[in-house]
Chain A
């Protein structure tokens, strides 16, 4: 049988965001795969150079659609590092709560997303509905469900609204009771076992060689988590575990998500207990109002996103606008090099499983 060229995406139920893979197939085996990014290129890095430091806060959450808060955190922390500003303690704890809530929301979202490539739609109905409960908290906190623009250089925009802490506790109790059900009804379901076990496998050596981080790496048995290895905010002051699996297949990666949610719940509880009262933001640099100046300098800040290492390199020339901002999308290695070199040899229907379970996120590749 001859070789046939097939297009996967840019619109496909198994792909989140617009991303395409040109596949050359023989029968149903992929012989060659070429990643085709660029459908979501919006020129963020250039746009940021043309806007004030504070204006960018409204722009950057859009770089990674499902998990916007990591952008705000990286950007704000990089500016604070250059300006050598100490953020008030309460703001740091609030940032951790926001980041962990975002982690829960995104894990639920992608846990539901696995319904697309596998046909196990129950996971989608359940997880997306539960994610909405997290978004309710975000709405009350920041006024927005998806793009919060809440973490700003110097701290957070406002203090927690009254009674939000009780609502967060209530949400955590609900999720804690719900997660075992996910494990019983979804992870033990035969559809997921058949479609994910032994599929889209990757080993530790390949992960480290090509720079895969996050769940992709941890599912091969390596407990590397930036929150532990290079702690930012107060991650060194809370107790949590880094769940790992050893199989390195799609099932191992998906089954780590509920375990990580449990750890995030643990972290948020500790944050709420340890959080002191006090101010939640300080002024950065000289200048009036939102028109600030950041001293000359360069800093790289990275955080652990749900897909792995997510980082910002921020360069300032001492002006009112950033001189250069470069974004390290967490799924760059597995989305481009991984697609080209690790997909050949797999079946056509396993391509979306790779893209989904490795967390390939098109908007952060294109930027």
Chain B
């Protein structure tokens, strides 16, 4: 099942990442997890390279909104079934006009992850023609909700205002029970 490329040593992969791709930095999170930060133009070649080296399982593609730095961080989590090592590959895109490229030719399921990220962060993925189709939210007409500048409390107050009650139902109930005297309207 496991191809021979799976057994290439971790050190070798990390050093060839630095040699083959300029501007890529690697950081050890723990012995079986590494974080790789790539410049946007190198991300897809890096992902293709890692897939070939046995990191063939895309666990998730997601996004983080770094509003202070005005960046979105796209995170691709790759897992190697042969060695049990996880690579967290990330790249930064501009927050004002967030456009990136699809990876659905590498991992078909990415089509749905990209739709998810578009819906919740507003990042567009060039090459994924379905990316702007709504997926989970229905008839959404506000800022993408997982952006840091979206305030869910304010949204709820705007869309679901507090009810104003015309009658004091508790007072009326006490009148009916005879606890207090008074009249009931209508």
Contacts and interface: CB of A to CB of B under 8 A. Distances in A.
Interface of A: 37-38, 41, 43, 45-47, 50, 81, 204, 208-211, 213, 222, 224, 229-231, 298-300, 302, 309, 311, 313, 315, 323-324, 326, 328, 332-333, 336-337, 341, 365-366
Contact of A324 (B32, B56, B65): B65
Interface of B: 1, 29-30, 32-33, 35, 56-60, 62, 64-65, 75, 77, 79, 81, 84-86, 88, 107-109, 111-113, 120, 135-138, 145-146, 150, 152
19 contacts: A37-B135, A37-B136, A38-B137, A43-B152, A47-B152, A222-B1, A224-B81, A229-B84, A300-B59, A302-B59, A302-B86, A311-B59, A323-B64, A324-B64, A324-B65, A326-B75, A333-B109, A336-B112, A337-B111
Contacts of B33: 299-300
Given A326-B60, A333-B109, A337-B111, A38 B135 contact: yes
A324 B108 CA distance: 25
B145 A46 contact: yes
B57 A211 contact: yes
B60 A38 contact: no
B108 A311 contact: no
A-B residue pairs, 3 tightest by C-beta? A230-B84, A328-B60, A326-B62
Instruction: Pick the most buried of B35, B85, B109: most chain A CB atoms within 10 A of its CB.
Output: B109
Nearest to A337: B109
A208 B137 contact: no
Nearest to B145: A46
A41 B33 CA distance: 30
Given A208-B56, A299-B33, A300-B86, A313 B152 contact: no
Contacts of B1: 204, 222
Given A43-B145, A300-B88, A328-B77, A315 B136 contact: no
Contacts of B30: 81
A313 B60 contact: yes
A48 to B, nearest CB: 11
A160 B109 CA distance: 42
A46 B146 contact: yes
A81 B31 CA distance: 12
A313 B84 contact: no
A12 to B, nearest CB: 19
A311 B84 contact: no
A313 B136 contact: no
Contacts of A224: 81
Instruction: Pick the most buried of B107, B112, B145, B150: most chain A CB atoms within 10 A of its CB.
Output: B112
A211 B137 contact: no
A46 B137 CA distance: 14
Contacts of A37: 135-136
B59 A38 contact: no
A230 B86 contact: yes
Contacts of A210: 107-109
B108 A209 contact: yes
Contacts of A365: 136
B113 to A, nearest CB: 8
